Amino acid sequence: MERAVSTSPGLASLPTYGRIAAVPAVVGCMYWQLLHGGDALRWVALAIFIAAGVTDVLDGYFARMWGQQSSFGRMLDPIADKLLVGTTLLMLTYDGTLNGPAVGAAAVILCREILVSGLREFLAELNVKVRVTQLAKWKTTLQMTAIGILVAGPAGDRLLPGVTAAGLAMLWMAALLTLWTGFDYLKAAVRTAIER
């Protein structure tokens, strides 16, 4: 028997709300650490960021398991993702973890997120669905891992030298995958626009 798709948010949306609530918590920890030094708040920020990343997996899982998939949840989930990624990248730039050319990788990621959001909205109005590819899932995993490593940043370097360098290399790889997967959305939008 097929489950009905709910139009209202349910318990399955709680992890998404948690991810949105994690945004000011991560920023607050990183900013406070910047003002007062020490490594403890950097590790707290990382723990919150990891927990927020885990909720991205849980909300979809719970929505399917409890039959609580909703239009609201589908709209809110990518917003929560973009708030977490965008705000954390901006904070990493502000505190100097990302500087020089590395800011370019962050800019590529942010621009792609904005472009894809617009393209998704355009395609949704035309009733065209673009499935998330396996490559896009790998990109997201690599991107979240890179940002998490960079949140540890200097604190991670004191524990294990080279942590920030590894995070920067992964961020550049994520940026390249970001361009590739963003191009897929752009092709679909252009093709649909020409056909219609």
**pTM of this prediction?**
0.86
Top mean-pLDDT range of 10-24, 45-59, 124-138: 45-59
Closest CA to 155 of 89, 97, 84: 97
pLDDT (tens digit per residue) in 74-112: 777 888 889 999 999 999 999 999 999 999 999 999 998
How would you class 1 by CB atoms within 10 Å of its CB: exposed for 0-12, middle for 13-18, buried for 19 or more? exposed
Domains in the chain, CATH or no CATH each:
11-195 (1.20.120.1760)
| Contact partners, residue 116, CB within 8 Å, separation at least 6 | 182, 185
End-to-end CA distance of the chain: 36
Q: Do 147 and 49 form a contact (C-beta atoms < 8 A)? A: yes
Q: How far is CA 95 from CA 11, 34, 51, in A?
A: 36, 7, 22
pLDDT (tens digit per residue) in 165-175: 999 999 999 99
* Burial annotation 117-130 (CB, 10 A radius, 16+ → b, else e): eebbeebeeeeeeb
